[in-house]
Amino acid sequence: MRRPPLLWLVPALAYAGLIFYLSSQPNPLPFLTARLSDKLLHAVEYAGLAALLVLGLTHLGTVGRRRAALLAVLLASAYGASDELHQYFVPGRSCDLLDWAADTLGALAGGLLAGPFLRRWGVRASIRP
């Protein structure tokens, strides 16, 4: 049985939910933040989100890989901006423009790297625009 195309977006939505949950905590991963750069963690986090979005958007079949990657980067960056705004209201957290820049750079990396991986795995949109 073939999976409905919208189900391919579930991992990205679940991951976005995890980001929201972690952003709601004053210090969500102290063992990581004590050892790694905050900006590196932001970049990796949003690279993952963008990659999952590329996967989901590609499987919708309405856009090709390049447009899916561009849309994924834009969506992940916008989500990063909303996440920074959300953190403004969380005690112990702050709204930081440099964190959003790291989110956006990570999303760009994830969006760009997802395409070659999808090509290697033979993932194609079912309907070409």
Query: Does the pLDDT at position 127 exceed 50?
Result: no
pLDDT for the residue numbered 124: 54
pLDDT for the residue numbered 32: 87
Tens digits of per-residue pLDDT, 27-77?
888 898 889 999 999 999 999 999 999 999 988 878 888 899 999 999 999
Averaged pLDDT, 105-109: 98
Query: In terms of Cα–Cα distance, which of 100, 13, 103, 5 is closest to 53?
Result: 13
Query: Does the pLDDT at position 129 exceed 50?
Result: no
User: Percentage of residues in the chain with pLDDT exceeding 90?
Assistant: 66
